[in-house]
A and B are shown apart, each in its own frame.
Chain A
């Protein structure tokens, strides 16, 4: 049974108070959170150990400059306790990384919340979100999709990671509620002077938003369906790729230091290039554009958490996240698997079952 904190203060203030308490009381050595770094509205993730610097944080600000799961994964094992405020898809990314031995969850106190989505990085860079923020928070209270958030957020259905230590219910709430889900959280907040009572989060409050999102998802997915168009359809989508690899660099799941597709394996000798050229009459350069995306799909789509970083950094406006999320859901769905749902849920490609896919055996 989880507990709920009773507070009438604005939710972001309460969260800041909690973080301040944790750092002050030395329950944690540092806080990991979004910060506003200048007047332009630039945002970064900070690891903060000085209580005075906590004033700069903006833990719930709807911008994702990097998937926090990726950042945290790189700095583990963490030998000192850290409180991390992250979005559900960032938490799920970290869970997937932990399964792939690219991150360790020990020593983190994870704080997540039901997320209303994030704005696109481009809009932030062009200073287009400042006057949209009020509308954004209104839409969350009402449980509606804000029109300017990432596509992947508009279609996101996994926004309640109840296995995080602390969960803040924002969607559909007038002021938000803070749930303590784990013993660790309860223990750490023992001295924090706010009353608690037993309570369980009820998902009914998300119903409105989730219905809208699943409807929107159908619409988005139908646009990128290549069932009938096959390879040509894929070329239509990925043909304008410039091969910058931005999608894989910012992907929290693509953890390889050097991607296979950038390795010597794909440095073809001149005679191979010439053979291809002679056979086909023409050769696109650099080669393997579609191959890279299909390869990446097969390498990581099981663990795709649909955070949408890939689409946001694509300089050619390819709907990378839509394609990867759709494919990921389909491949993972075959195994009743949801990326990042639980840390003890094994990734399907890593388990061997004798009885799997008998129809393929036939």
Chain B
């Protein structure tokens, strides 16, 4: 991410941003830089989008590079294509920054392989809640095009988790489309990107100062929203009673985990037979407390999932989109993730080179815990 060049390529936006980006990829495929490109495309019923890996230039024309909603995290789509390793095609993928971050995490977890892939990101204005879009796609399209073009358009329409996202611009992609007012500027973000610009014979002549200033302003606003929101969420999840109340409507459908790009386990631990005790144990638990709530252990599922994936949570918000009972899962997980990631000085998806905290052993880690253990040992010893 640090290899960003000081200048970018100003792309032609005679038509509109969407068309310009499509033309860019069409050109790159024609010049045999890529064999295929993965982009969103409207589904035939017209009320949602799907990820399509496209090789045929005719089909490419129907793609919509910047989709107003995120029904599936692109990292998850890419995982299904690259999980089994290297192939013969060179692939370009355009994603939102949070999807890039999920891709980075999945790469570390060995679920995505990037050998054949060039990652493109863009300045994300946020996504609309999927349900709103499905209810009224026409209104959704209008709202989103306003978000893309009107600098002063307010952000009230986007997903709650997008309102508090401060990582909506440059990411760990190879190349990045900067949306600067009505301009579209392509930046190389690392070596791979630099080489591609050379191959395509594109000149980096446009300065980025104005754009950088704009992004910084937006970031400040979002960070403020983020702090305020986290203060509210904190009250909702700290302490067992608050947590129980917050998740009271949970029906245990596990849509949050199955739509989560990070929860890659083929079978969640909480769906295995280990997590499904037999009738004697259930009865014992009921008799112990007078009553037991079914399905069992719904809070344990959420806290367990937090423990398993919050270090890699990229705050894409798919969990909230998929929740049938409107629990603000995304904001909750985003808050917890901010805390756990801070503890390990880790930022999910920032770079493929950063080791996952749980996979890395550091001698000097969490010093205060070590001290606690030591003093406990000393105390124990003195009692003997």
Bitwise, A124-157 to B at CB < 8 A (1) or not (0) is: 1110000000000000000000000000000000
Are A285 and B38 also in contact (CB < 8 A) when A30-B286, A245-B258 are? yes
- Residues in B whose Cβ lies below 8 Å from that of A71: 294-295
- Residues in B whose Cβ lies below 8 Å from that of A360: none
With both chains docked as a complex, state the minimum distance between the C-beta of B61 and any C-beta of chain A, in angstroms.
Answer: 11
Assess the A79–B267 pair: CB atoms within 8 A. no
* Alpha-carbon distance between A46 and B294 when the two chains are bound, in angstroms: 6
Tell which of B36, B272, B282 touches A277, judged by Cβ atoms closer than 8 Å.
Answer: B36
CB of B271 closer than 8 Å to a CB of A: yes
CB of A257 closer than 8 Å to a CB of B: yes
Tell which of A79, A242, A243 touches B280, judged by Cβ atoms closer than 8 Å.
Answer: A79
Are A75 and B278 also in contact (CB < 8 A) when A249-B254, A287-B80 are? yes
* Alpha-carbon distance between A141 and B130 when the two chains are bound, in angstroms: 38
* Alpha-carbon distance between A130 and B56 when the two chains are bound, in angstroms: 53
Assess the B84–A270 pair: CB atoms within 8 A. yes
Task: Name the interface residues of A251-276: CB closer than 8 Å to any CB of B.
Answer: 257-258, 262-264, 267-271, 273-274
CB of A118 closer than 8 Å to a CB of B: no
Assess the A270–B87 pair: CB atoms within 8 A. yes
* Alpha-carbon distance between A75 and B282 when the two chains are bound, in angstroms: 7
Tell which of B54, B71, B286, B323 touches A47, judged by Cβ atoms closer than 8 Å.
Answer: B286
Assess the B326–A257 pair: CB atoms within 8 A. no
Are A286 and B77 also in contact (CB < 8 A) when A38-B245, A46-B291 are? yes
Assess the B51–A284 pair: CB atoms within 8 A. yes
- Residues in A whose Cβ lies below 8 Å from that of B44: 232, 235-236, 239
Assess the A274–B325 pair: CB atoms within 8 A. no
CB of B200 closer than 8 Å to a CB of A: no
CB of A52 closer than 8 Å to a CB of B: yes
* Alpha-carbon distance between A249 and B88 when the two chains are bound, in angstroms: 37
CB of A332 closer than 8 Å to a CB of B: no
Bitwise, B292-332 to A at CB < 8 A (1) or not (0) is: 11110000000000000000000000000111111100000
Task: Name the interface residues of A296-316: CB closer than 8 Å to any CB of B.
Answer: 312-316
Assess the A313–B255 pair: CB atoms within 8 A. yes
Assess the B325–A316 pair: CB atoms within 8 A. no
Tell which of B283, B291, B325 touches A121, judged by Cβ atoms closer than 8 Å.
Answer: B325
With both chains docked as a complex, state the minimum distance between the C-beta of B277 and any C-beta of chain A, in angstroms.
Answer: 8
Give B266's nearest chain A residue, CB to CB.
Answer: A262
Interface residues of B (CB under 8 A from A): 36, 38, 43-45, 47-48, 50-56, 58-59, 71-72, 76-78, 80-89, 130-131, 134-135, 245, 248-249, 251-255, 258-259, 266-267, 271-273, 276, 278-280, 282-283, 286-287, 289-295, 321-327
Known contacts A122-B325, A284-B53, then 17 further A-B pairs from the complex at CB < 8 Å, ordered by chain A residue: A46-B291, A47-B283, A66-B294, A122-B326, A237-B45, A240-B134, A242-B130, A244-B322, A246-B254, A249-B253, A249-B258, A257-B267, A273-B53, A283-B53, A286-B51, A313-B251, A316-B134
7 cross-chain pairs, A with B, having the tightest CB-CB distances, nearest first: A281-B56, A50-B290, A240-B48, A239-B43, A285-B77, A270-B87, A42-B248
